[in-house]
């Protein structure tokens, strides 16, 4: 079973014979190449071309994060899987306005439905979320009639804003107060958690896309020409509430994540090393949690991201229109 490798410490990643070797202050760790599915780098890492070549041959993407845990970029090895047919279909669905809108709305619908699942769960647990839920349901009605990506993004933004404002009702933990979503930079611990969790999710989905025939550069909701990868952002929208938000709620409400796990710099907050490793562990546990799929038996959340890609295949092949994943809780 291949697993993601997270590198928090600083050091050197090398190829030795046919294995990976990670040299840090603690000494040398040998990592069998066949045990690694992707690498996420947080520490100060030295890596040379020989190692990158080795990773390419073994089809292992590498994602880099800076000192504060912000995403820097990815080493996306040359495509292992190529199907002209799929790429053309992907582009066709982007270029045709109606087709593009359908998919963009699909990702938003998935996101909103999963947001509502979270809210309903906490409402059942006695949190006063009635207004939040009806306000989001009301805003969501506008989605069917919008006919531009900009408008759709706006509706989605408003829904997220309403949702995030309810975090104070869901997370009632001393010292963690959420006023508004701030991204660049995240101004307080909850914002730092959201940003960090989202970057982990974006790179995880990107690694899954890498193992498919889809081109991560062609997205539908997120503008294709603005950034290097966008399809992973689209698919992430659907999974954010299911993975990232639930991890945050759980870590804070169970007291596993505390203020001591954050450092702050002028006007912003970020997770320290300990905080990051706590988050990553919970995040990975969540990804490995399995649920029952109607046709495929027990599948993990990570696997569901891959299945989401295959649902796009079926959509592109005119077999079955895309319906986003909605998690149960």
Partner 1 sequence: MRYEDRISIGGTLVWYYYICKREVWLIGHGIEAEQENDYILLGRYIQEIFYTRKRKEIMIDNTIKIDILPGRKVIGEIKKSSKFLESAKMQVVFYLYYMKREKGIDMEGVLLIPEERKRIKVSLTPELEREIEEVIEDIGRILKLEKPPKAVKIPYCKKCAYRSMCWA
Shortest spacing between CB 60 and partner 1, in angstroms: 13
Q: Is 81 in the site for partner 1 (CB under 8 A)?
A: yes
Q: Is 317 in the site for partner 1 (CB under 8 A)?
A: yes
Out of 82, 134, 172, 256, point to the residue binding partner 1 (CB under 8 A).
Answer: 82
Helix ranges (H only) for the chain are 49-57, 84-95, 97-124, 130-140, 149-165, 167-170, 189-210, 231-239, 246-253, 273-288, 301-316
DSSP single-letter state for residue 220: S
Q: In degrees, to the nearest 5, what angle opens at C-alpha 321 toward C-alphas 320 and 322?
A: 115
Q: Is 93 in the site for partner 1 (CB under 8 A)?
A: no
Q: Is 95 in the site for partner 1 (CB under 8 A)?
A: no
How far apart are the C-alpha atoms of 169 and 247, rounded to whole Å?
Answer: 16
- Strand, coil or helix: what is 41? strand
Q: According to the annotation, is 120 in a ligand binding site? A: no
Q: According to the annotation, is 222 in a ligand binding site? A: yes
CA distances from 96 to 92, 100, 223, 280 (A): 6, 6, 14, 39
Q: Is 311 in the site for partner 1 (CB under 8 A)?
A: yes
DSSP single-letter state for residue 58: T
Out of 72, 91, 296, 321, point to the residue binding partner 1 (CB under 8 A).
Answer: 296
Question: Binders of partner 1 among 276-295, rule CB under 8 A?
Answer: 295
Shortest spacing between CB 308 and partner 1, in angstroms: 8
- Strand, coil or helix: what is 320? coil
Site string for partner 1, 195-224 (x = CB under 8 A): ----------------x-x-----------
Stretch that binds partner 1, among 108-116, 192-200, 216-224, 309-317 (CB under 8 A): 309-317
CA atoms 148, 232, 182, 266: torsion sign: negative
CA atoms 308, 309, 310, 314: torsion sign: positive
Out of 152, 207, 313, 327, point to the residue binding partner 1 (CB under 8 A).
Answer: 313
Q: According to the annotation, is 156 in a ligand binding site? A: yes
Choice between 116 and 309, CB closer to partner 1 = 309
Residues making up the annotated binding site for Mn(2+) are 156, 222, 237
Contact set with partner 1 (CB under 8 A): 81-86, 211, 213, 295-296, 303, 306-308, 310-311, 313-314, 317-319
């Amino acid at each position: 079973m291949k697993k993601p490798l997270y590198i928090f410490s600083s050091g050197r990643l090398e190829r030795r014979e046919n294995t990976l070797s990670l040299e840090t202050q603690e000494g040398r760790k040998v990592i069998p190449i066949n045990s690694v599915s992707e690498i996420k780098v947080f520490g100060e890492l030295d890596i040379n071309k020989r190692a990158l070549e080795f990773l390419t041959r073994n089809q292992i993407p590498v994602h880099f994060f800076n000192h504060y845990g912000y995403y820097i970029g990815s080493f996306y090895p040359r495509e292992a899987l190529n199907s002209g047919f799929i790429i053309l279909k992907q582009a066709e669905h982007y270029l045709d306005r109606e087709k593009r809108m359908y998919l963009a709305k699909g990702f938003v619908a998935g996101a909103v439905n999963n947001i509502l699942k979270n809210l309903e769960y906490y409402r059942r647990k006695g949190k006063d979320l009635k207004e939040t839920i009806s306000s989001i349901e009301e805003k969501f009605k506008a989605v069917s009639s919008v006919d531009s990506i900009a408008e759709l993004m706006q509706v989605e933004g408003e829904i997220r804003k309403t949702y995030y404002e309810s975090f104070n009702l869901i997370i009632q933990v001393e010292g963690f107060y959420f006023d508004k979503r701030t991204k660049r930079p995240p101004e307080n611990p909850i914002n730092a958690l959201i940003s960090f969790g989202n970057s982990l999710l974006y790179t995880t989905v990107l690694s899954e896309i890498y193992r498919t025939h889809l081109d991560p550069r062609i997205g539908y909701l997120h503008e294709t020409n603005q950034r290097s990868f966008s399809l992973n952002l689209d698919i992430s929208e659907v999974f954010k509430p299911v993975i990232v938000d639930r991890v945050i709620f759980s870590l804070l409400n169970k007291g596993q994540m505390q203020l001591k796990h954050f450092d702050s710099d002028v006007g912003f907050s970020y997770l320290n090393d300990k905080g990051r490793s706590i988050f990553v562990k919970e995040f990975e546990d969540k990804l490995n949690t399995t649920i029952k799929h109607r046709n495929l038996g027990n599948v993990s959340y990570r696997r569901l991201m891959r299945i989401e890609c295959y649902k796009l295949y079926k959509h592109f092949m005119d077999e079955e229109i895309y319906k986003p994943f909605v998690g149960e809780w």
